[in-house]
């Protein structure tokens, strides 16, 4: 069995769902100038905010239990239909807001949107290829990285200067999680951090409600019933089913999952036979709790995908 690669593959070249608009922090914003004084340099105080997100993904099958042949003493056969394929996703996100007296060549507000690029792999962990990759395909496995992080800088107001760090919302947050749980049929909650160690198609093909139907009471199952989009494609997978619009929707949905605190812990802590919404934050806006994590300050409307028609 194989897993999501720990580093992006060297080939093919990264694909970006954004146009290279040329916004570059080092060139456009000009980094902080230490020890600079005199006319033409503005040293705040500033409020600076930023965010990033990266995703590790694997497309997996979903089987539907369709029939069984029984006698009074044995099970003769169990049948499944191939229902669809969808993504299992690892989500890593960061957000920060800081105050700063670094010096910049302008006092104007400055911001740059967050853009992404993806590093797809043409073959799955078994070595199967489903067609040649294009600029509109994620393939069976790969990673999506922030290409340019969201960055915003503005002068503090007089009221903010007179206030406190708490009033400014100063801080930083990082999460690492997944959009699914994984466990074995004999367990009622996810265990042994199997979200990381088992990426076999067999472990992804059934839900906890069908546990034990493959081979034994120790069949592994996967459960993911949060609102995060799983980029579902009907029937068996081929490259031709994909589209750039669906990829962008998938990326943005993961961002909303971060903001709305729908990211599972690893290992998961939620009972598997319960509805996710019964364990999700009931606060407005949603907050992390013992079952789901997230960053309420993360804002997916800062994602920009200029290449779409």
The confidence band for 2, taking pLDDT boundaries of 50, 70 and 90, is very low
pLDDT at 61: 86
Which of 239 and 82 is assigned the larger pLDDT? 239
DSSP assignment letter at 138: -
pLDDT exceeds cutoff 60 at 229: yes
In tens, the pLDDT along 5-61 reads 333 333 444 555 543 333 222 223 334 443 333 334 888 899 999 999 999 999 988
In a domain, residue 182? The reply is yes
* Weakest mean pLDDT among 102-106, 228-232, 281-285, 305-309: 305-309
In a domain, residue 6? The reply is no
In a domain, residue 266? The reply is yes
- E strands, 74-149, are 75-100, 110-112, 115-121, 141-148
User: In a 3-state reduction of DSSP, which class is residue 257?
Assistant: helix
pLDDT at 123: 94
In tens, the pLDDT along 180-214 reads 876 554 454 444 444 455 567 766 666 655 555 55
Residues 207, 209, 212, 214: what is their CA dihedral angle, to the nearest 10 degrees?
Answer: -50
In a domain, residue 34? The reply is yes
Are 133 and 12 in contact, with CB atoms under 8 Å apart?
yes
In a domain, residue 238? The reply is yes
Q: Tally the domains of the chain.
A: 1
In tens, the pLDDT along 259-275 reads 999 999 987 787 766 67
Q: Which domain holds residue 203?
A: 25-302
Are 1 and 291 in contact, with CB atoms under 8 Å apart?
no
In a domain, residue 59? The reply is yes
pLDDT at 275: 73
Pair type for strands 75-100 and 46-70: antiparallel
pLDDT at 124: 93
Are 224 and 180 in contact, with CB atoms under 8 Å apart?
yes
Most confident region among 74-83, 178-187, 259-268, 295-304 by mean pLDDT: 295-304
In a domain, residue 185? The reply is yes
Average pLDDT, stretch 77-92?
83
Residues 6+ apart with CB under 8 A from 255: 53, 93, 298, 299, 300, 303
Distance (Å, whole) CA 163 – CA 167: 6
Helix (H) or strand (E) holding 47: strand 46-70
In a domain, residue 2? The reply is no
Distance (Å, whole) CA 222 – CA 259: 23
């Amino acid at each position: 069995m194989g897993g999501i690669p720990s580093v992006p593959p060297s080939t093919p070249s990264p694909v970006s769902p954004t146009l290279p608009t040329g916004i570059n922090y080092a060139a456009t914003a000009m980094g902080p100038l230490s020890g600079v004084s005199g006319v033409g340099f503005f040293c705040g105080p500033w409020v600076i905010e930023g965010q990033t997100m990266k995703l590790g993904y694997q497309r997996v099958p979903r089987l539907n239990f369709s029939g069984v042949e029984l006698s009074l003493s044995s099970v003769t056969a169990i049948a499944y239909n191939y229902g669809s394929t969808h993504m299992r996703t690892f989500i890593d996100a960061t957000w920060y807001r800081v105050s700063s007296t670094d010096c910049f060549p302008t006092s104007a507000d400055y911001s740059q949107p967050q853009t992404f690029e993806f590093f797809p792999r043409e073959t799955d962990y078994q070595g199967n290829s489903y067609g040649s990759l294009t600029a509109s395909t994620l393939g069976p496995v790969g990673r999506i990285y922030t290409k340019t992080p969201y960055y915003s800088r503005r002068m503090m107001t007089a009221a903010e200067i007179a206030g406190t760090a708490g009033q400014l919302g100063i801080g930083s947050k990082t999460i690492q999680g997944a959009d699914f749980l994984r466990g074995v049929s004999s367990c009622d909650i996810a265990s042994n951090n199997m979200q990381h160690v088992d990426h076999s198609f067999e472990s992804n093909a059934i839900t906890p409600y069908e546990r034990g139907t493959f081979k034994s009471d120790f069949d592994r199952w996967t459960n993911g019933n949060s609102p995060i989009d799983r980029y579902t494609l009907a029937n068996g997978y081929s490259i031709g089913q994909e589209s750039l619009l669906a990829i962008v929707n998938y990326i943005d949905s993961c961002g909303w999952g971060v903001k709305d605190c729908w990211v599972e812990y690893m290992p998961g802590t939620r009972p598997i036979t319960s509805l996710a919404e019964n364990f999700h934050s009931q606060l407005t806006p949603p907050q992390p709790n013992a079952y789901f994590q997230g960053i309420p300050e993360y804002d997916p409307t800062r994602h920009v995908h200029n290449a779409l028609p």
